[in-house]
Structure 1
Amino acid sequence: MTAQKQKYSEATLPRPWGESIPERYRARIDDLFDTWYAVSARNRKLTAYYNMKAVLKDLGISIPENLLNVNCVVGWCKKAVNAMAVRSSFDGFVFQGFEDDDLNRLVRANRMRSLYKQACKSALTHGVAAITVMRGGPGQPAAVVRAYSAHQFTCLWDKDERRASCGVVLNEVDERGVAKRYTAHFPDAVLTLERGDDQRWTCIEEPNPMGRPLMEVIVNDPDLDRPLGHSLITPEVIGIVDKAMRDVLRMEVGAEFFTYPQRYVLGAADSMFADPPEGCAEDEDGNFVDADGNVVAPVPNDRKKARAYLGALLAISRDENGELPTVGQFSPGSADNFTRVFENDAQRFSGATNVPLAQLGVQSNTYTSSDALGAANDPLILAVEDMNADNGEVMAEVARMMMAVAGGTTIEGLNVERREVQVAWKDPSMPTISARADAWTKLGASDQSIVGTRVYYEGIGLSQAKIDRLMAEKRENAAITAMARIADALEGGSTGIPAMKKNEEAEE
Structure 2
Amino acid sequence: MNYKGINFLKKQLFSKRNRVRMRYRYYEMKNGIKDFKIAIPNEFKYVSETLGWCSKAVDSLADRISFKEFENDNFNMNKIFDMNNKDILTDSAILGALIASCSFIYISQDEDGYPRLQVIDAYDATGIIDPITNMMIEGYAVLERDEKYNILSDAYFTCEETVVFDYVGHREIHVPNPARYCLLVPVIHKPDAKRQFGHSRISRACIDLQQGALRTLRRSEVAAEFYSYPQKYILGTDSDADPMDKIRASISTMLQISRSEDGGGTPTVGQFAQQSMSPHIDQLKSFASLFAGETGLTLDDLGFVTDNPSSAEAIKAAHENLRLAARKAQKNFATSLINVGYLAASVRDGFEYKRNQIYETKVKYEPLFEPDMSTLSLIGDGAIKINQAVPGYFNKDNLQDLTGIASSKLDVPSVSDDEE
Do Structure 1 and Structure 2 share a fold, with TM-score over 0.5?
Answer: yes
Aligned equivalents of 1:119, 1:107: Cα separation in 2: 13
Question: 1:32 and 2:9 equivalent?
Answer: yes
Tell me: CA distance 1:159–1:329, structure 2 relative to 1, closer, same or farther (3 Å): same
Deviation at 1:455, TM superposition (A): 4.4
SS across alignment from 1:211: coil
Question: 1:366 and 2:307 equivalent?
Answer: yes
Kindly indicate whether the alpha-carbon contact (under 8 Å) linking 2:101 and 2:197 is maintained by their aligned counterparts in 1: yes
Tell me: CA distance 1:271–1:354, structure 2 relative to 1, closer, same or farther (3 Å): farther
Question: 1:41 and 2:18 equivalent?
Answer: yes
Kindly indicate whether the alpha-carbon contact (under 8 Å) linking 1:190 and 1:208 is maintained by their aligned counterparts in 2: yes
Kindly indicate whether the alpha-carbon contact (under 8 Å) linking 1:437 and 1:460 is maintained by their aligned counterparts in 2: no
* Structural mapping, 1:122-141, within 5 Å: 122-138=96-112
Question: Aligned residue for 1:212?
Answer: 181
Within the candidate set 376, 390, 394, 1:436 is matched to 376
Question: Aligned residue for 2:341?
Answer: 399
- The letter of the residue matching 1:174 is D
SS across alignment from 1:314: coil
Deviation at 1:85, TM superposition (A): 0.8
Deviation at 1:335, TM superposition (A): 1.4
Deviation at 1:48, TM superposition (A): 0.8
Aligned equivalents of 1:175, 1:219: Cα separation in 2: 28
Kindly indicate whether the alpha-carbon contact (under 8 Å) linking 1:354 and 1:379 is maintained by their aligned counterparts in 2: yes
Tell me: CA distance 1:49–1:451, structure 2 relative to 1, closer, same or farther (3 Å): closer
Tell me: CA distance 1:220–1:196, structure 2 relative to 1, closer, same or farther (3 Å): same
Structure that is richer in helix per residue: 1
Kindly indicate whether the alpha-carbon contact (under 8 Å) linking 2:178 and 2:350 is maintained by their aligned counterparts in 1: no
Question: 1:174 and 2:159 equivalent?
Answer: no
Within the candidate set 228, 232, 235, 1:266 is matched to 235
Aligned equivalents of 2:172, 2:240: Cα separation in 1: 79
- The letter of the residue matching 2:216 is D
- Summarize deviations over 1:326-381 as a string: whole Å, max 9, x none: 11111122211111100001011111211222111122x43676565432200110
Within the candidate set 400, 404, 412, 1:461 is matched to 404
SS across alignment from 1:130: strand
- Summarize deviations over 1:80-116 as a string: whole Å, max 9, x none: 0111111111111110xxx679433322221222222
* Structural mapping, 1:336-415, within 5 Å: 336-363=278-305, 365-366=306-307, 370=311, 373-412=315-354
* Structural mapping, 1:263-302, within 5 Å: 263-270=232-239, 274=243
| Rg comparison, structure with higher value | 1
SS across alignment from 2:325: helix
Aligned equivalents of 2:247, 2:107: Cα separation in 1: 71
Question: Aligned residue for 1:109?
Answer: 83
Aligned equivalents of 2:14, 2:157: Cα separation in 1: 18
Question: 1:319 and 2:260 equivalent?
Answer: yes
- Summarize deviations over 1:201-231 as a string: whole Å, max 9, x none: 5321121121211122122222211111122
Tell me: CA distance 1:70–1:33, structure 2 relative to 1, closer, same or farther (3 Å): same
* Structural mapping, 1:215-234, within 5 Å: 215-234=184-203
- Summarize deviations over 1:159-195 as a string: whole Å, max 9, x none: 4654322112221123432111112221111111110
Kindly indicate whether the alpha-carbon contact (under 8 Å) linking 1:433 and 1:460 is maintained by their aligned counterparts in 2: no
Deviation at 1:408, TM superposition (A): 2.4
Aligned equivalents of 2:173, 2:15: Cα separation in 1: 27
Kindly indicate whether the alpha-carbon contact (under 8 Å) linking 1:440 and 1:460 is maintained by their aligned counterparts in 2: no
Within the candidate set 352, 360, 364, 1:420 is matched to 360
Kindly indicate whether the alpha-carbon contact (under 8 Å) linking 1:263 and 1:327 is maintained by their aligned counterparts in 2: yes
Identify which of structures 1 and 2 has the higher relative contact order when contacts are C-alpha pairs closer than 8 Å and 6+ apart: 2
- The letter of the residue matching 1:261 is P
- The letter of the residue matching 1:93 is F
When normalised by structure 1's length, the TM-score is: 0.74
Tell me: CA distance 1:324–1:314, structure 2 relative to 1, closer, same or farther (3 Å): farther
SS across alignment from 2:187: strand
- The letter of the residue matching 1:153 is A
Deviation at 1:413, TM superposition (A): 8.8
> Percent identity, aligned pairs only?
25
Tell me: CA distance 1:270–1:119, structure 2 relative to 1, closer, same or farther (3 Å): farther
Q: How many residues align?
A: 411
SS across alignment from 2:182: coil
- Where in structure 1 are there 5+ consecutive unaligned residues? 1-23, 275-302, 486-499, 504-508
- Summarize deviations over 1:118-166 as a string: whole Å, max 9, x none: 111211111111122222324x8x2212111111212123346543221
Deviation at 1:72, TM superposition (A): 1.1
Question: Aligned residue for 1:506?
Answer: none
Aligned equivalents of 2:149, 2:303: Cα separation in 1: 36
- Where in structure 2 are there 5+ consecutive unaligned residues? none
